[in-house]
């Protein structure tokens, strides 16, 4: 193999030049109108009365919630429904349908010749106009796309950029958001420059001492002999290669990295590749590409391996909304999600069921989270009347191409998914399409395997659909794993979507029992984690497969966080408008289930968690079962100091294998306390839950005390209603009000109640389960932010956040 050796001694100064060869700026400030306005693309159009908005923006998140929005009279075939019924809240009951226009202006710098616009995603069907002329369009709202607008740009004056987005009813199975919900970038370069997404980095680990990094660079022009310098920075590496472009404007290099620091969820080591393009000795472009060195493989012998070590995915599926801030993407909100998941021991996410945003992938790279990057929920057969099937024929290649081009360098992405529960699994035609798409993905990226989530397992096996995939993925149907394993040549099966257990944070229903599609008059689900849907299951059903079948390579639980829309099992119940599937609720507060997953997934820190709460006024002398989710093998429960006995995990009984429970506990106010024992029978930890008194004051917990003065960063502050001794009042529903002063603004609030119609963006909300989360955003000015939370009859609380 040909490669250049490290030139460690390379002087840094030699490649630094005074002039910046390209600029990249986010276009943040826009004017917005929530209607279809004739002539809005024209340069002479007067938008002075339009609203000022900052992109990323979601025009629908301010609500109000309404039952009438996108009522869908449908039978959800995937859920086994045969007859159509009226589904309310299926897409979140927020006003996302309609047209929105965005307008802004920008100037270009005389020193550059090329102008590019990069859209990370616009919901949906964006049409882009520059100086009155249409310069591009896309259909699928999740796809990043690049427009070279060089010929339409006015180099001497101001340029008017206008974007139209349109959402139609019955186009989604969840809340899709609305408008320019991901960043827009303006890139200026010289004429001869690196193409957008024109650097491809792959790595091959040869031994612990060395890896080979292969770099392909594609230039805007088909020009031979252009010097392309690639330099790797990071870890102990500082190595460089210099090659010349071929006549098609591409250049290839292979660079050896000594003692590579490998990327993994536990060690998210990143490198930077600096690509410098030179002509006639003059630097004309430079691009920095972050990348990681890691290997992935799937095999019958070793299952899934990352860097040569077998492991099973401890994954969750995520929809793209961020609860109270909607789909308007925000780095702080994404970081918070990933950190909460990592604390649970989760090591992978599936971007269900669509193309992720670059910001999310950057965060997965840097924090250490593997990713199954998915693409579609539909091909040619509709799940929704106006879904992606309308575009599949003309757009599927373009969408998949951009998915790969945009995201190929993220080490976090360990596989692509070409679809979720595609109904065509059941037809021979479907298998052919699958083969075509798998081949396309292989051609675009030979380094990653391709999967899809199959739910019609018998049909997918019979038609050869599942066999065409590199990684056979099963959604639910734990009883079909063996069949799929036997039928597939692969020798392993992935749980591409699992569980779909439902629960509402802090809500417990009696008697405690297992149930499918169970509903209650209050629109909530029980947090004893025994309720699922008729196609899904409680977590233990997956745990036993993962533990007992060496050939099952992990799972992606539906879902990590609750999301807007799909309020199953309350699809027909108003006002349910968000999901119950989350391990964490829509506010990002952990449900009890968080600790069940944590007890097996987080192998670094012990878990000891008790449920339910112990404030059951009026239920004195009733039976209230007590459950304990713990990483310890054994525990003893005490009610008001009296032992209820020791319980040990018991592998012979699924319901005792992973959780401990005392089913006959009689409620008496006071406390429940659990003492955990290690494998040697030694008492090592304890946890106590006390009966709360009356709501007395508000307690605030903040996830950070310092924000950047960038007008973007968010702080998430949990407000809890507590009694005079500081115990959470677990049934408190006090109305709380928020006021924010100083260098920030109130951005949103959420209590995790799937049936709440209080809007997220008003500074007041009722507590749910005694809690809610307030989101505050920094301004661009340094100083202090002060948040005060008040509630009638409660002592208020304040928190100060520094903005610097
Ligand atoms: C699956 C589907 C998901 C979600 C889930 C709810 O079948 O892939 O998108 O609808 O069911 O359980």
Q: Write the DSSP symbol of residue 468.
A: G
Alpha-carbon distance of 753 to 579, in angstroms, equals 10
For the chain, the first-to-last Cα distance in angstroms comes to 50
- What band does 5 get if pLDDT is binned at 50, 70 and 90? very low
Ligand 1 mean position, distance from CA 100 (Å): 29
Determine contact, residues 686/674, Cβ cutoff 8 Å. yes
Using alpha carbons, list the distances in angstroms from residue 497 to 420, 527, 534: 9, 21, 15
- What percent of the chain clears pLDDT 90, i.e. is strictly above it? 95
Q: Is the pLDDT of residue 8 over 90?
A: no
Q: Is the pLDDT of residue 235 over 80?
A: no
Choice among 229, 421, 540, 799 that is catalytic? 421
Which secondary-structure segment (H or E) carries 117? strand 114-119
Choice among 218, 256, 497, 555 that is catalytic? 497
∠ CA 343-367-744, rounded to 5°:
85
169's CB contacts (< 8 A; 6+ apart) are 70, 72, 97, 386
- Residue from 72, 76, 77, 78 to probe ligand 1 pocket by mutation (most atoms less than 8 Å from CB): 78
Q: Is the pLDDT of residue 3 over 80?
A: no
- Residue from 497, 498, 501 to probe ligand 1 pocket by mutation (most atoms less than 8 Å from CB): 497
Q: Which of 235-249, 458-472, 726-740 has the lowest mean pLDDT?
A: 235-249
Q: Is the pLDDT of residue 68 over 80?
A: yes
Atom of ligand 1 nearest to the CA of 497: 8
Atom of ligand 1 nearest to the CA of 352: 9
Ligand 1 mean position, distance from CA 597 (Å): 20
Q: What are phi and psi of 428, to 5 degrees?
A: -65, -35
Ligand 1 mean position, distance from CA 332 (Å): 27
HEC-encoded secondary structure of 157-189:
CCEEEEEEEEECCCCCCCCCCCECCCCEEEEEE
Q: Whose CA is nearest to atom 12 of ligand 1?
A: 500
Taking the CA of residue 752 as centre, how many other CA atoms within 13 Å lie in the half-sphere pointing to its CB? 29
Q: Mean pLDDT, to the nearest integer, of 63-89?
A: 90
Ligand 1 mean position, distance from CA 91 (Å): 14
- Per-residue confidence (pLDDT) for residue 786, from 0 to 100: 98
Atom of ligand 1 nearest to the CA of 536: 12
Q: Which residues does a 6 A CB cutoff place in the pocket of ligand 1?
A: 78, 353, 420-421, 455, 475, 497, 500, 533, 536, 558, 566, 568
- Per-residue confidence (pLDDT) for residue 783, from 0 to 100: 98
Task: Specify the 3-state DSSP secondary structure of 219.
Answer: strand
How many Cβ atoms are within 10 Å of 388's Cβ, its own excluded? 28
* Catalytic (active site) residue 283: no
Determine contact, residues 655/647, Cβ cutoff 8 Å. no
Q: Mean pLDDT, to the nearest integer, of 701-705?
A: 96
Which secondary-structure segment (H or E) carries 374? strand 370-374
Question: 117-164 pLDDT, tens per residue?
Answer: 999 999 999 999 999 999 999 999 999 999 999 999 999 999 999 999
Ligand 1 mean position, distance from CA 455 (Å): 10
Q: Whose CA is nearest to atom 3 of ligand 1?
A: 558
- Per-residue confidence (pLDDT) for residue 236, from 0 to 100: 72
Q: Mean pLDDT, to the nearest integer, of 623-648?
A: 98
Atom of ligand 1 nearest to the CA of 421: 8
Taking the CA of residue 392 as centre, how many other CA atoms within 13 Å lie in the half-sphere pointing to its CB? 22
Ligand 1 mean position, distance from CA 49 (Å): 42
Alpha-carbon distance of 635 to 608, in angstroms, equals 9
Atom of ligand 1 nearest to the CA of 455: 7
Alpha-carbon distance of 400 to 432, in angstroms, equals 17
Using alpha carbons, list the distances in angstroms from residue 549 to 411, 526, 732: 28, 30, 44
Q: Mean pLDDT, to the nearest integer, of 73-86?
A: 87
- Residue from 174, 316, 378, 421 to probe ligand 1 pocket by mutation (most atoms less than 8 Å from CB): 421
- Residue from 319, 477, 532, 558 to probe ligand 1 pocket by mutation (most atoms less than 8 Å from CB): 558
Q: Write the DSSP symbol of residue 408.
A: T
Q: Is the pLDDT of residue 656 over 60?
A: yes
Question: 390-409 pLDDT, tens per residue?
Answer: 999 999 999 999 999 999 99
Task: Specify the 3-state DSSP secondary structure of 438.
Answer: helix
- Per-residue confidence (pLDDT) for residue 119, from 0 to 100: 98
Q: Is the pLDDT of residue 108 over 90?
A: yes
Q: Is the pLDDT of residue 12 over 60?
A: no
Determine contact, residues 226/220, Cβ cutoff 8 Å. no
Q: Write the DSSP symbol of residue 296.
A: E
Ligand 1 mean position, distance from CA 380 (Å): 18
- Whether omega for the bond prior to residue 13 falls within 30 degrees of 0, making it cis, is no
Ligand 1 mean position, distance from CA 354 (Å): 13
- Per-residue confidence (pLDDT) for residue 349, from 0 to 100: 99
Alpha-carbon distance of 122 to 138, in angstroms, equals 9
* Catalytic (active site) residue 497: yes
Question: 330-380 pLDDT, tens per residue?
Answer: 999 999 999 999 999 999 999 999 999 999 999 999 999 999 999 999 999
Q: Is the pLDDT of residue 182 over 50?
A: yes
Taking the CA of residue 9 as centre, how many other CA atoms within 13 Å lie in the half-sphere pointing to its CB? 0
Q: Mean pLDDT, to the nearest integer, of 541-549?
A: 98
Nearest by Cα to 519 from 502, 538, 500: 502
- Per-residue confidence (pLDDT) for residue 19, from 0 to 100: 55
Alpha-carbon distance of 645 to 634, in angstroms, equals 11
Q: Mean pLDDT, to the nearest integer, of 241-258?
A: 96
- Per-residue confidence (pLDDT) for residue 124, from 0 to 100: 98
Structural Rg of the chain based on CA atoms: 27
Average pLDDT, the chain: 96
**Helix pair 539-548, 592-601: axis angle to 10 deg:** 10
- Per-residue confidence (pLDDT) for residue 415, from 0 to 100: 98
Q: Which residues of 301-326 are buried (b: 16+ CB within 10 A; e: fewer)?
A: ebbbbbbeeebbbbbbbbbbbbbbbb
Q: Is the pLDDT of residue 591 over 90?
A: yes
- Per-residue confidence (pLDDT) for residue 409, from 0 to 100: 98
Question: 191-201 pLDDT, tens per residue?
Answer: 999 999 999 99
Number of helices (H), then strands (E), in the chain: 9, 48
Q: Whose CA is nearest to atom 4 of ligand 1?
A: 558
Alpha-carbon distance of 423 to 173, in angstroms, equals 15
Taking the CA of residue 275 as centre, how many other CA atoms within 13 Å lie in the half-sphere pointing to its CB? 33
Which secondary-structure segment (H or E) carries 634? strand 634-639
Q: Whose CA is nearest to atom 10 of ligand 1?
A: 566
Q: What are phi and psi of 199, to 5 degrees?
A: -115, 125
Q: Whose CA is nearest to atom 6 of ligand 1?
A: 500
Task: Specify the 3-state DSSP secondary structure of 425.
Answer: helix
Atom of ligand 1 nearest to the CA of 476: 7
139's CB contacts (< 8 A; 6+ apart) are 124, 125, 390, 391, 394, 395
- Per-residue confidence (pLDDT) for residue 776, from 0 to 100: 98
Question: 289-302 pLDDT, tens per residue?
Answer: 999 999 999 999 99
């Amino acid at each position: 193999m040909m490669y250049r050796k490290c030139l460690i001694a390379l002087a840094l100064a030699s490649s630094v030049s005074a002039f910046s060869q390209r600029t990249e700026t986010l276009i943040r400030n826009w004017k917005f109108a929530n209607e279809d306005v004739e002539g809005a693309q024209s340069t002479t159009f007067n938008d002075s009365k339009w609203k000022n908005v900052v992109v990323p923006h979601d025009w629908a998140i301010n609500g109000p919630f309404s039952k009438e929005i996108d009522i869908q009279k449908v039978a959800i075939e995937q859920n086994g429904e045969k007859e159509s019924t009226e589904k309310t809240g299926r897409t979140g009951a927020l006003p996302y349908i309609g047209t929105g226009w965005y307008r802004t202006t920008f100037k270009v710098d005389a020193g550059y010749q090329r102008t590019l616009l990069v859209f990370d995603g616009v919901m949906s069907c964006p049409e882009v106009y520059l100086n009155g002329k249409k310069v591009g369009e896309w259909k699928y709202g999740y796809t990043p796309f690049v427009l070279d607008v060089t010929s339409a740009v006015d180099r001497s004056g101001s340029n008017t950029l206008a974007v139209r987005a349109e959402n139609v009813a019955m186009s989604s199975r969840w809340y899709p958001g609305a408008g320019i919900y991901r960043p827009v970038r303006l890139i200026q370069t010289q004429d001869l420059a690196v193409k957008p997404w024109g650097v491809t980095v792959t790595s091959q680990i040869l031994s612990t001492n060395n890896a080979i990094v292969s770099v392909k660079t594609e230039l805007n022009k088909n020009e031979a002999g252009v010097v392309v310098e690639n330099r790797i920075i990071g870890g102990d590496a500082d190595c460089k290669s210099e090659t010349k472009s071929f006549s098609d404007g591409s250049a290839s290099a292979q660079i050896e990295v000594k003692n590579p620091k490998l990327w993994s969820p536990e060690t998210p080591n990143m490198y930077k590749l600096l690509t410098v393009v030179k002509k006639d000795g003059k630097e004309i472009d430079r691009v920095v590409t972050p990348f990681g060195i890691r290997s992935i493989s799937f095999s019958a012998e070793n299952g899934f391996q990352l860097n040569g070590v077998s492991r099973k995915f401890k994954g969750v599926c995520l929809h793209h909304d961020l609860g109270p801030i909607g789909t308007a993407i925000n780095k702080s909100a994404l970081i918070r999600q990933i950190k909460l998941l990592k604390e649970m021991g989760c090591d992978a996410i599936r971007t269900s069921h669509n193309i992720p945003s670059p910001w999310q992938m950057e965060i997965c790279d840097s924090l250490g989270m593997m990713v199954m990057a998915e693409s579609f929920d539909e091909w040619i057969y509709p799940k929704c009347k106006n879904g992606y099937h309308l575009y599949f024929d003309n757009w599927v290649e373009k969408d998949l191409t951009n998915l790969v081009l945009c995201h190929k360098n993220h080490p976090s992405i360990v596989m692509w998914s070409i679809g979720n529960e595609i109904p065509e699994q059941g037809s021979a035609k479907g298998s052919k399409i699958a083969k075509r798409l798998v081949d396309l993905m292989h051609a675009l990226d030979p380094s990653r395997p391709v999967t899809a989530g199959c739910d019609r397992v018998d049909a997918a096996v019979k038609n050869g659909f599942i066999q065409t995939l590199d990684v056979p993925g099963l959604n639910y149907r734990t009883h079909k794993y063996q069949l799929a394993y036997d039928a597939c040549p692969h020798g392993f099966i992935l749980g591409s979507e699992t569980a779909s257990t439902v629960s509402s944070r802090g809500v417990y229903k009696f008697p405690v029992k297992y149930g499918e599609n169970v509903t209650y008059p209050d629109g909530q689900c029980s947090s004893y984690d025994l309720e699922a849907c008729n196609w899904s299951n409680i977590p233990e059903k997956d745990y036993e497969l993962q533990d007992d079948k060496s050939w099952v390579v992990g799972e992606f639980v539906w879902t990590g966080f609750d999301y807007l829309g799909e309020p199953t099992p309350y699809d027909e119940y108003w006002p349910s408008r968000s999901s119950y599937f989350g391990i964490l609720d829509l506010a990002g507060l952990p449900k009890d289930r968080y600790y069940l997953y944590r007890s097996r997934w987080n192998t670094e820190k012990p878990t000891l968690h008790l449920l339910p709460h112990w404030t059951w006024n009026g239920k004195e002398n009733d039976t209230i079962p007590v459950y304990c989710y713990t990483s310890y093998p054994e525990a003893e429960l005490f009610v008001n100091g009296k032992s209820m006995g020791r319980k040990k995990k018991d592998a012979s009984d699924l319901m005792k294998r992973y959780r401990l429970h005392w089913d006959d506990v009689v409620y008496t106010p006071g406390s429940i306390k659990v003492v955990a024992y290690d494998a040697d029978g030694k008492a090592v930890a304890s946890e106590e839950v006390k009966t709360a008194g009356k709501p007395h004051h508000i307690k605030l917990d903040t996830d950070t005390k310092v924000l950047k003065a960038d007008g973007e960063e968010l702080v998430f502050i949990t407000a809890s209603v507590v009694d005079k001794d500081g115990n959470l009042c677990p049934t408190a529903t006090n109305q709380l009000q928020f006021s924010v002063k100083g260098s920030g603004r109130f951005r949103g609030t959420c209590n995790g109640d799937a049936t709440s119609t209080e809007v997220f963006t008003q500074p007041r909300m009722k507590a749910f389960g005694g809690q809610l989360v307030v989101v505050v955003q920094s301004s661009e000015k340094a100083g202090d932010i002060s948040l005060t939370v008040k509630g009638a009859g409660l002592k208020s609380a304040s928190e100060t956040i520094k903005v610097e």
